[in-house]
Structures are given as structure tokens and as C-alpha cells.
Amino acid sequence: MFKLNPQLYEKIKHFAKFPQTGVSLRQMVMFGQKPSPATFFKASQFLHEELPIRLAHRVKELDELPRSLGDMPSIIKVKNWYAQSFQELIELPPPEITSELKASFRDAAKNSQSLPQSTPNLAIPQSKPTGKYYPTIGHRYYNNFENIKCTPPILSYTDSFVKAIENVKRRHDPVVTTMAQGIMEYKQHRKTSMIDADVQQFLDRFYMSRIGIRMLIGQHSALYRGPFMRNYVGVICTRTNIKDIAQDAIANARFICEDHYGLFRAPEVKMFCPGDIEFMYVPSHLNHMVFELLKNSLRAVVERFGPDYEDEYPPIKLVIAHGKEDITIKISDEGGGLPRSGIPVVWTYMYTTAQAQELEPEFNKSEFKAPMAGFGYGLPISRLYARYFGGDLKLISMEGYGTDAYLHLNRLSNSDEPLIM
């Protein structure tokens, strides 16, 4: 098993001194619209530098946690995964313009009428890490090579790079469940049932960073491998249809609800949507958030009215509003609501009023998909997804009546990634 050693930790501390570079949704779309081999090369350069910086920040933070948390076996396990991925990435040869590559650029340039005959200066700053590649994407040097269809050295480098980062992503699949396990170990160790504000903030930062890292890797690998669908740039859909996604989430959540509570025990969900609203977003993120909110509302209604109510449950309303700045989805239920003092608590990780679920790393493997309820991750993780692209998630409740959840999504999609540390 891989273990973090002092030598490696020195390197990690060095990388952690550099700031992380945020990438907005719009930047990702602009960059990936017509990916050419040169695009992948440029993106590899950025990721080869940015991913180790982001991983290093996490290792350092995990290492500096208070001992009562940082020494928990599952937390150490997670830290070692981050350190191992860091090491793998920095050991990977950097994407450099070698003389071989230069020659193939030159050949391609000669063979193409539309390209300049002279070889531009291909010097790339080697001092690292600088964190400045992404903003210069579309740089003229690379634009000169947009028409190159096949340069073998680039293709083989791109291919091995994609494989390496996909391997990192796979290693980190069980991070959420393993961290949750670590928090349980911490609670047992401290003989407490709640986590304190520091731990909560640490987890917000940690999972937010995970969303960002997975987005960067997922986007790069989707641009490379496909599937190549209309209106998609990697995992981003430039014309995400809210109504379609909401319909899907409704069907899935009601299915899970019936599966859990029994046949006909899923309240109806009524959707109000002014026409077809399309905007740029990551459909899987949107689906996840709406699905989690609906499951909560369905559960609240079923549990309030009991099993004999069947199809007389008061319906849940899903309202979509389309503003200049935001698209907002409101989900209203008559599930009895929560006391006002209970609202801050629902955002804490692992807080649930449902029967706690077994943590099954295999089941929960890649994403944050939870069962009907009981994991206590639905709300806090959905809020992170919303904030990741400049949106937010809020809960307003009328105790004794029901709850309204407001999911705000930023339409301008040019807000920077929130990189707190």
C-alpha cells in the first residue's frame, strides 16, 4: 500500500504554495468547442501543472487537521490516495515541445496551404508551476496548428496523459464514502454525535475541491473520448433543457420513493415551466441536485401523511423561473417543514433524520448517489454543486406546513470556480 513519505511531502508542500487556477464554465466551453490535437496538448499542459497543485493543497490540509480527526484510519487512507495521485502526475513527463514534435509541426505546416511556412517560436515557459496556461488557451502559437489532423507524438502523448488522469479519477471514486467513514470514526473517538463548525467548513472545502478536480479530469477525458453529441462540449451541454432534466429527476425520484415506501406511495410532482428553457450547464450536476431535493420532499410528504394516504398526497410543486441573472427552480412540499432553528443543521454532513444507511463503498462508488435518504449528504453536496458554477441552494421552511427549496443557477456562467484554499 502507498504511504506518504517525508521526501514526497516536501514536494507537496512546495506545490501547495502555488495558488490554484479557477476555470469558469464559459472558459471550458470556449476552449473545448473544436478540439484539435493542439488543443489537447495545451490542455494537458494546463492539467499537468494544475492537478498536482490542487492535490497538494488537499494533502497539506489533510495533514494539518487536528490530530483527533487527521489520525483516523480512513482519513489517512484518503490522504495517501491524494499523495499517490500527486506523485504519479509529477512523475509523468511534462508535455513539452520536443525537437521531434517541432519537426512534425513543421512538416504539417509545410503540407498545408493555409498555415504559415515559418515555424513560430514554440518556446514554452518551463519554470513551474506557474498556473498560467489555461487563460492563454487559444494562444496564437497553437492557433497556427489548429488544422493539424495527426501528429503522432502529440497523439500518443495525449493518449497516455488521458489514461493517467482517468486512473487518478478512478482511484478517488470511493473518497466520499471513505471520508464519511473517517467522520464516523472521529465521532466515535470524540464520543459526540455532531461535527463542529471547523470540521464542517473543512468538508465543504474538501468536497468542493473534489468537484473541481473531477470536473477538470472529466471534461478533458470526455472531450477526448466522446460520446460526441450535438450541443455538448465534453460533459457540458450548451443547451441544457431544464424541463427535460426536471422530468427525468421527477421520474427517478418517484421511482426510488415507491421502491422504498411501496407501490402508489409516491406523491405527484407538478411542474410549472414557462416554455423550453435552455442554458449552458452540466446536465449531470443539475440532475443530481433536483433529484436530491425531490427525494427529500417526497419523503417529507409520505412520512407526514402516513402510508394510507396513497394518491391523495398533496402534490409537490416544481416551479422554474427564468431571469436575466439566474434560473431558479423552486421545489415546494407540504411535508410539514422543519423548525427554523433546525435549518442550519440540515446542511451538516451526515445529519439525517432517516434511518442511517450503511456506508457501502461499492454501491456509492463514483458519484454522490444516495438511496432514498439516510446518508445525510444530499443537501450539503447539492449546495456545493450549485455554488460550484456560481449558483446557490436555500431552504425556507414553514414549520407545521412544508418546505420550499430554492435552487439558483447562474445563467451568465462566467463566475470563477470557487477555490477557497
Q: Which stretch binds ligand ADP (CB under 6 A): 31-39, 244-252, 258-266, 350-358?
A: 350-358
Cβ nearer to Mg ion, comparing 296 with 364? 296
Please confirm, yes or no, whether 296 is among the known catalytic residues: yes
Shortest Å distance, C-beta 188 to Mg ion: 23
Q: Does 373 bind Mg ion (CB under 5 A)?
A: yes
346: contact with ligand ADP by CB under 6 A: yes
User: What percent of the residues of the chain are helix, what percent strand, and what percent coil, each to the nearest 5?
Assistant: 50, 10, 35
Judge whether 30 and 140 are in contact, CB under 8 Å.
no
Binding partner of residue 8 among Mg ion, ligand ADP, none, CB cut-off 5 to 8 Å per kind: none
Q: Which of 61, 88, 292, 417 is catalytic?
A: 292
Minimum Å gap between C-beta 124 and ligand ADP is 45
Cβ atoms within 10 Å, residue 224: 21
Q: Find the catalytic residue in 295, 317, 330, 408.
A: 295
Binding status of residue 353 toward ligand ADP by CB under 6 A: yes
Cell of 116: 504559415
CB of 376 to ligand ADP, least distance (A): 4
| CB atoms near residue 18 (< 10 Å) | 18
Residue 403's binding partner, choosing from ligand ADP, Mg ion, none, with beta-carbon cut-off 5 to 8 A by kind? ligand ADP
- Residue 417 in the binding site for ligand ADP (CB under 6 A): no
Q: Which stretch binds ligand ADP (CB under 6 A): 61-69, 217-225, 267-275, 344-352?
A: 344-352
Q: Is 364 in the site for Mg ion (CB under 5 A)?
A: no
335 lies in the site for ligand ADP, by CB under 6 A: yes
CA-wise closest residue to 355 among 316, 303, 405: 303
Residue nearest to ligand ADP (CB): 378
- Asked if 267 touches ligand ADP (CB under 6 A), the answer is no
Alpha-carbon distances of 113 from 101, 108, 145, 217, 335, rounded to whole Å: 20, 10, 12, 35, 68
**All cell numbers assigned to 284:** 449531470
DSSP H or E segment with residue 288: helix 283-305
The binder of ligand ADP chosen from 84, 297, 410, 413 (CB under 6 A): 297
Residue-by-residue DSSP string for 81-130: HHHHHHHHHHHSPP----HHHHHHHHHHHHT-TTS-SSPPP-----SS--
**Cβ 314 to ligand ADP, closest distance in Å?**
13
Q: In the β-sheet with 269-272, what is the strand arrangement from edge to edge?
A: 269-272, 316-322, 326-333, 402-410, 392-398
Give the residue, chosen from 40, 133, 142, 351, that forms a contact with ligand ADP under the rule CB under 6 A: 351
> How many whole angstroms separate alpha carbon 295 and alpha carbon 346?
14
| Strands 402-410 vs 232-233: parallel, antiparallel or unpaired | unpaired
The residue among 178, 129, 172 whose CA lies nearest residue 12 is 129
Closest to ligand ADP by CB, 37 or 402: 402
Number of residues near Mg ion (by CB under 5 A): 3
- Asked if 240 interacts with Mg ion (CB under 5 A), we say no
Cis-peptide, bond into residue 361, ω within 30° of zero = no
Give the CB-side neighbour count of residue 387, counting CA atoms within 13 A.
17
Question: Is-catalytic flag, 172?
Answer: no
Which of 213, 233, 257, 379 binds ligand ADP (CB under 6 A)? It is 379
- Which residue in the list 48, 60, 79, 288 is annotated as catalytic? 288
Does 298 bind Mg ion (CB under 5 A)? Our answer is: no
Is 393 a residue that touches ligand ADP (CB under 6 A)?
no
Please list, in sequence order, all residues whose beta carbon lies within 8 angstroms of the beta carbon of residue 350, skipping any fewer than 6 positions away: 180, 183, 184, 195, 375, 376, 377
Q: Active site includes 288?
A: yes
Residues forming contacts to Mg ion in the complex (CB under 5 A) are: 296, 373, 378
Cite the active site residues: 288, 292, 295-296
Residues forming contacts to ligand ADP in the complex (CB under 6 A) are: 292, 296-297, 300, 333, 335, 337-338, 346, 351-354, 370, 373-379, 403
